Chain A
Amino acid sequence: MKTFEEKWTAWIDGELTGAELAEFEASLPDKAAAEAEKRNAQKLGTFLKEHLPCHAMGNEEFFNHQLRQRMSEGETRARVPEPSGGGRVWWPIGRLVWVGATALAIFSVCTFFVMRESTPTDQSQYLSQILNARVDPAVSPNATISMFESKEDKVTVLWVEGLQSLPSEFASAK
């Protein structure tokens, strides 16, 4: 089924014949104006043919070669999919699932390490603890031992009284 424009072009070129010609001419709203336009178009065609002759191409082979090469490159590019991103906005479901599982795994591993490094909840674990202590009764018969924790200062103290006092020379460093 030809469009009106196609029929119009064919009519101006004198390519419509028979019933098709009669049908088209009957469909024209103003046949006289159309005939005038047809004559103008034909005159213009004749004028262009006379005054704009087609120049002969000097490097015809080279031009054809270039054209064929460009066309083959275009076909190749159309067959090969884009390597990255450009045309692919959405990831396929499989890749989304894979990326989600990966993120979840990384999050789990991070959580595991963070929880292992977290502060102990029990206060007794938080402060140092003295498990036992003793002095040699032969060396320090009057020694007494006590221990306490200072939660404010976060220190644990082993308090030993009664050890034998020593002269000041024992305060020497190495």
Chain B
Amino acid sequence: MKQRSILLIGIALVLMMGDAAAARASQVVWSGLVIANNVAQPTPVPAELTRMEGTLKELFGYNQFKVIGQSRKSVVTGSEDWLAQSKYFSLHVDSKEGSDKAGYLLNLKLFQEQSLLLETEAKLSKASPLIIKGPLVGDGQLILLLIVQ
């Protein structure tokens, strides 16, 4: 009886730890380079931006948002790096030591080809997207977005 109880407790603990580990491992950071502009017939916003459509329109005053480069990275250890790239722009993301359950500590660098335009350090919260206004491009605007999915 005692051995059976110990076995059951063990199984329960393993399952709970497995769930916690799975929850941690399932965190995906979506990083996107988005061009916003105003057009007569705007295309629907990409699925990644659906829940932020109103906020983006209100902030920037554009009616169309097109993803020109993106990356979807599963963050497991918290110390990883990745790249979201378009033809001329690239966003280097480096997840640094200090990431915890509240969010990821990120170093972000926006390059225009080889030229560093912007560098920032940010703590990306799981419940709060990060929006960065980039340079004007043609009749529109480059926007950088980071979202924990």
Q: Which residues of A contact B (CB under 8 A)?
A: 95, 98-99, 102, 105-106, 109-110, 113, 116-117, 119-120, 125-136, 139-140, 150, 153-161, 163-174
Contacts and interface: CB of A to CB of B under 8 A. Distances in A.
Chain B interface secondary structure, helix, strand, loop or mixed? strand
B116 interface: yes
Interface string B108-143: 000010011111111111011111111111111010
Contact of B5 (A102, A116, A165): A102
14 contacts: A102-B9, A113-B20, A127-B125, A130-B120, A135-B118, A136-B116, A150-B55, A158-B133, A163-B134, A164-B135, A170-B138, A171-B142, A172-B68, A173-B87
B87 A156 contact: no
Contacts of B35: 171
Contacts of A166: 88, 112, 135-138
Contacts of A110: 16
A120 B126 CA distance: 11
Interface residues of B, number: 58
Contacts of A129: 122-123, 125
A158 B130 contact: yes
Nearest to B89: A170
Given A98-B2, A131-B121, A174-B69, A139 B115 contact: yes
Contacts of B67: 173
A125 B74 CA distance: 21
Contacts of A171: 35, 37, 66, 68, 137-138, 140, 142
B116 to A, nearest CB: 6
Name the residue in A117, A163, A168 with the highest tally of chain B Cβ atoms < 10 Å from its Cβ: A163
Given A163-B135, A173-B87, A128 B130 contact: yes
Contacts of B52: 153, 155
A62 B102 CA distance: 82
Most buried by B among A156, A161, A165: A156
A164 B85 CA distance: 19
A167 B142 CA distance: 12
Given A126-B125, A133-B118, A98 B5 contact: yes
Contact of A165 (B8, B55, B123, B135): B135
A22 B142 CA distance: 127
Contacts of A132: 120-121
A174 B117 contact: no
A109 B119 contact: no
B133 A160 contact: yes
Contacts of A102: 5, 8-9
Nearest to A150: B55
Nearest to B145: A155
A23 B139 CA distance: 131
Given A153-B55, A163-B136, A170-B88, 7 more contacts: A98-B5, A128-B123, A128-B129, A156-B131, A161-B133, A173-B68, A174-B69
